[in-house]
Structure 1
Amino acid sequence: MASAQYESAEADFEQVMNRFNAIGASVAVVKEGKIIYTHSFGLKDLENKTPLTDQDIFRIASISKSFSATSIMQLIEAGKLSLDDDFGDLVGFKIRNPKFPDQKITLKMALSHTSSLNDSQGYLNLDLINPDKNPDYAKCYNDYAPGKGYQYCNLNFNLIGTIIEKKSGERFDQYVKNHILQPLGLYGGYCVDSLDSNRFVKLYEYHTDIKSFTPSPTAYAPRRAEIKDYVMGYSTPIFSPTGGMKISATDLAKYMMMHMNYGTVNGVKIISKKHSKLMQTKITEEEEYGLALRQAGNLIPGVKLIGHTGSAYGLYSTMFFNPKQKFGFVIITNGINATYTGDFPDFSRAAINNLYRHFIQ
């Protein structure tokens, strides 16, 4: 691609950044199955005016769920699990909607947010939903039967993390590192202390009332005291299987290419084609949600995409790809003045359309 084209794309992207007061953004574009463009705009640290680079890593929020689901697919292929298994049997305490006590909640329902669980009581530890630990555990369930409705729920995935530990015998963060990140040659992880803190991108929340940003240091809290008393198969939410992956936009794009190629990239097979396709197949019609990956037909008009978004601590992350045409995008920003149209932040929508227009169309 000619440098004039790059300059034009970057000038347009800067305009998108300005429109949403973005502090920084890292992007990666994949075309014909290869990364053809990476770039970082703006700042990694607002106070020190440190520029953002492609080597810097972000906590990516809910895109992390696909790493947990990919791990589950590996354990299914190893014969250690089935999607139809009883979720409570796998977790180790009773998980039944008290309004439908005879109806099994399956692992597949949890992966697709159709379990009838909710986050109304929080999701940062398992005591909330454990009937032996919380007399109000019933509030963690919705009024509809398991499998009969969709509600996005972080608790589903923090519970899924415990199952990965129980079935693999490896601590959650280590499992993902050993079975996904290292085989793909990626730098990242869920454990803060196993990563170079100099590479962490500072995250900022925007406050509309005062029209300014404040930093969110808890995004990278190391939680050393909790890890010291770690209980395998129960303390797992400390690492946040639902949102705690830290990785660069470029390495996230390499991971995305594995899903784009249905489980295998550069000769490295992570999961089978069958299970990769299953993750990408929508289970609920309105939300088009599969197993920690969703379909999106309206993010780029007339283009069918598969992927996930994330938002937490002021960060907004976007990973979407087209497996047939072999293109995709990763866009991560560490702070914007966020407005929404439908499911997606307007910044993410504008940014992905800008990259599509310049690099794919």
Structure 2
Amino acid sequence: MSEAMDPENLREALTYYDSWLAFNQRYQRIPGIQVAVYAGGGIAFSGAYGLADVENAVPLTEQHLFRIASHSKTFTATAVFQLVERGRLRLDDKAEQHVTEIVGTPLGERTIRELLAHAGGVTRDGLEADWWQLATSFPDRDQLLEVLRHETSAVIAENDRFKYSNIGYGLLGLVVEAAAGTSYNAYVQTAIVDKLGLSGLGPELDPDRLDEYAAGYSALTYADTRVPIEHVDTHALASATGFFGNARDLVAYFSAHLPGDDRLLSDRSKREMRHPLWTTSEDGKARYGLGLSVTKVGDRDVFGHGGGYPGHATRTLVDGERRLVVSALTNAIDGQPSQLAEAVLKLIDLAESKDRGESEGLERFAGRYANLWGVADIALLGGRLYVLDPAGGDPAAEPTPLEADGDELRVAGGSGYGSYGETYRFTFGPAGRVESVRGSSGLLSHPLDRFTLPDRVTVT
């Protein structure tokens, strides 16, 4: 059953989310972040921050393409279920019934259902997989079959536990080819991407569109600077990791997985895909179905997938009850897409956590303010003002509520460490713009865009 969101709560959450994303792109030193939100039956928000190409100072746009990596598994699972609905496959078919080159091998005995659920006990990437470092090329069909036939590729028994496998999804790509009678790339392009009319998605690197791709970059965990990473073809592992996309088209694709949308699959198939079969984290929040991950953000179950590709890290989350989809794409190996995607869901939760307040006149206080000790945001959410920490990863964690009294805001809740009962005192310029605010701990802060430090901080 769908749950309606208050349009004003959504608008305020997305307004602050835009500002928060811009801050975090700079603060986390991610070259570029691209995000889109689907809500209310269409694209409710789309933004791009930072650079698509650092060396040439190319600004990132909403149209730039990213390698969305393991998002590909959702397309593969969708293709499998389409073929099941058409009577070409059964989920309990053994892989060898469709891929005859592995008849008589342990992996040939694995069922399509087991492979979709990462329950086949299949090697994650094989004994040597340095294609993930671009030291070798991704395997072609013959090389993938060689891995599938190797005795070490059946690592554990089927249905023993969740065991993520790119090789298993490579095998599913071969199954799709056999059942569809065409190449994997051609099938998913026609039956999924083209059917939805999305030009910003595709199953594999398109050399004719190289100038549209955001450059990928290495991490800062092992070096002081990032280096660019070349885009490459993933060949026979396209069904595990080959897809490209932009955030706008990615949320549009996932909107077709919402209940009641029959463009790609029946609701019955979609329910089966997102039904959690395995718990994948110790806290029990992260689970996996058939080609879709399921997790909790706050108290809500959401589904989707993430992706890690050499130079790109991406994440999509779908809140089926609120018919809300968010995709966050970053062009760095160490980007934090899950954190970026979850943030908007948490902000909407905060905006809707209380009856809507009377927001008239409150927007003038909202902004980002800095002093020597850091940065604090005053954000309008749900018609109420809160102090939020934009650098904390979760912008809705420990929000401090404020109540307006003239040109002052009184701290009306939160931790006792947060100056409860005291005031934020604002100085406004002639145009109504905030010039300064003296707030928590009695410190003077200024809007971040006008805050500067001297060459040396000393007593004045």
TM over 0.5: yes
Give the 3 Å change call, closer, same or farther, for CA 275–262 of structure 1 in structure 2: farther
Alignment of 1:246 with 2:244, yes or no, is yes
- Alignment partner of 1:35: what SS? strand
- Decide which structure has the larger Cα Rg and report it: 2
DSSP-derived class of the 2:288 partner: coil
SS in 2 for 1:114: coil
| 1:262–1:277 contact (8 Å) kept in structure 2 | no
Q: Residue type matched to 1:90 in 2?
A: H
Retained in 2: the 8 A contact 1:126–1:159?
no
Please tell me whether the aligned partners of residues 62 and 310 of structure 1 are also in contact (alpha carbons under 8 angstroms): yes
Contact 1:283 1:289 in 2 (8 A): yes
> Partner of 1:12 in structure 2?
20
Farther off after superposition, 328-337 or 76-85: 328-337
* Structure 1 counterpart of 2:295: 296
Corresponding position of 1:59: 67
Asked if 1:177 is matched to 2:189, the reply is: yes
TM-score by length of 1: 0.82
- Please state whether the residue corresponding to 1:67 is helix, strand or coil: helix
Q: Which runs of no fewer than 5 residues in structure 2 stay unpaired?
A: 1-6, 130-137, 281-285, 352-460
* Structure 1 CA distance for aligned equivalents of residues 294 and 16 of structure 2: 30
Give the residue type in structure 1 aligned to 2:126.
S
Greater relative contact order, per chain length (Cα 8 Å cut-off, separation 6+): 1
Name the CA shift for 1:358/1:134 in 2 (closer, same or farther; >3 Å): closer
Q: Does 1:120 align with 2:126?
A: yes
Q: Give the Cα separation in 2 of the matches to 1:45 and 1:323.
A: 35
Amino acid at match of 1:152: Y
- Determine the C-alpha separation between the residues in 2 that align with 1:328 and 1:202: 25
CA distance in 1: counterparts of 2:333 and 2:112, whole angstroms: 35
Code of the residue aligned with 2:191 in structure 1: it is H
Closer, same or farther in 2 for the Cα pair 1:262/1:127, shift >3 Å?
A: farther
Report if aligned partners of 2:310, 2:333 keep a CA contact under 8 Å in 1.
no
Does the CA-based 8 Å contact 1:69-1:291 persist in structure 2? yes
The TM-score with structure 2 as length reference comes to: 0.65
- The count of aligned residue pairs is 326
Structure 2 partner of 1:204: 217
Q: Name the structure 2 match of 1:344.
A: none
Q: Secondary structure at the match of 1:320?
A: strand
Structure 1 unaligned runs (5+)? 224-235, 339-346
For 1:322 and 1:178, locate their aligned partners in 2 and report how far apart those are by CA, in whole Å. 27
Corresponding position of 1:323: 320
The alpha carbon displacement at 1:158 in A equals 1.0
Cα distance in 2 for partners of 1:28, 1:161 equals: 28
The answer to whether structure 1 residue 138 and structure 2 residue 151 are counterparts is yes
1:41-62 CA-to-partner distances (Å, cap 9, x unmatched) read 1111010110111111111010
Offset at residue 255 of structure 1 (A)? 0.3
Measured in 2, the distance between the counterparts of 1:192 and 1:125 equals 14
Contact 1:20 1:336 in 2 (8 A): no
Q: Is 1:164 equivalent to 2:209 in the alignment?
A: no
The equivalent residue for 1:257 is 255
Q: Is the 8 A contact 1:315 1:333 kept in 2?
A: yes
How far the C-alpha of 1:254 sits from its partner, in A, is 0.3
The CA deviation at 1:128 is: 5.8
Judge conservation of contact 2:48–2:62 (CA < 8 Å) in 1.
Answer: yes
- Please state how far the C-alpha of 1:312 moved relative to its aligned partner: 1.3
Structure 2 residue 40 is the aligned partner of structure 1 residue 35: no
Pairwise CA distance, 1:17:
2.0
Supply the distance in 1 between the matched residues of 2:126 and 2:267 (Cα, whole angstroms).
Answer: 36
State the identity %: 24
Cα deviation for residue 40 of structure 1 reads 0.7
The superposition leaves residues 170-204 of structure 1 with CA deviations (integer Å, 9 ceiling, x where unpaired) of 22111111111111110121243475222111111
